[in-house]
Structure 1
């Protein structure tokens, strides 16, 4: 009797753990999708739509952003058959492969931009273009030749058989960095004023007083001196009239569309305040660097041991 009871408890425990892990995986996927949808819709709305329609108001931008999210959801549903055909239908491998194909060049771009002062706009553009072309080519080949079923003959190209996607991502990282270096060196180098506060080495550099772009630091001045807009306190909130019986009111309420926009300008943050914020005390700087090195060594060991 006790054996049967223990067996039932074990089965229930295993089932509960499976349900817990399934909930964790679904939550992680939903969190990733919502962040991707939000970022993609923001990029489209703020960088593309505002260029096409400079006179667009905030309400229009809000509607366009939400419509963009709906379109992305539809594209994600249509993309499901491609997920099944890539990486043997394994979702984890598919996510890592696609992120490696398309995200590795972006990693190269950010690392080079932060730690290399000679990098310029020309090198960034052509470097990310070359890296993405390499990633898209590999991804297209991966989708065109899905993994065969168990017992079927292998007919995929050698680049898919002998070059794992992780190795290909490492190659793409190197190719992107080389492209950034080459195109940056054959074009004009950025000036010291352009690099001030941009890279890791120039993040707290001071601008000389004789620089033509020197602006007197005034923490009370607005962010844009040419603008006619005036600062308003956070308490000056425009209250909507109680049109609870109006259909437009409920449509705006359900969709989250504001009726009026509070006119407010972010106060200017002086360069001195930025430098003080970025300054690191030597003691804690050394402590964080040591922890970063230990973390990297642990990650390299785990990756090499379990790969």
Structure 2
């Protein structure tokens, strides 16, 4: 038996229908229907406390998302229990669109025009071409690499940073502490798509953000705990960072009354840069379940030491 769980019962029902259609040979059930003693695999986003201890025959967990930091932080998740994450499931295309939107808006000065509109000002600014804009991508996994390739094809000067060297056509790849500093210093737009790990938490602190060029832009669509929000506010207020597009926050939802809400140089979205698409997620997990049943290695195995 395979247990499917999310906090939303309607979403669970939709997933059950899709999984059963994709794998009619298997038995899928919700938490209120399942015989927990017979559950071999768990497909989930958000888990009730104590659930894993009630699944004595559990062999693996499949996350309905690419980020697994909340699952990894659970003390009841056995260290030897395999955990698989989604590698894409339609998220790379969405993330690329989100970053493209921000980069194009910066190139065409749309953030400045919005502030001019609020002040009742009519003032044309000199145009810039894509080749005039240096874009840095923090994180060159499946999603970050897709965004970097697309932006390079659009004509932007694209660099990317990752823990280990990557080789992407027409994208300058940087790694390590020295590479991170170089990326920051040469990014007119910095787009972050890193996961939350012990190594990335607090990565974008005030010192590192200050390395960005004057009048630059920050896009954070990775995780909220990567960024020092107070440091960002200070740099926005003194004009060193011209604007920011933020999809993720240290606390979500962003608390009512937080100064980021009303800041004239900040665009806020509610963690929607890349949302799991059900059909694609079902297809990927179903393929992995079949691989495991055939004794093969499944895709997306999380390396606990790396956090993804």
TM-score (norm 2): 0.22
TM-score (norm 1): 0.22
Which is richer in helix?
1
Structure with the greater alpha carbon radius of gyration: 1
Which is richer in strand?
2
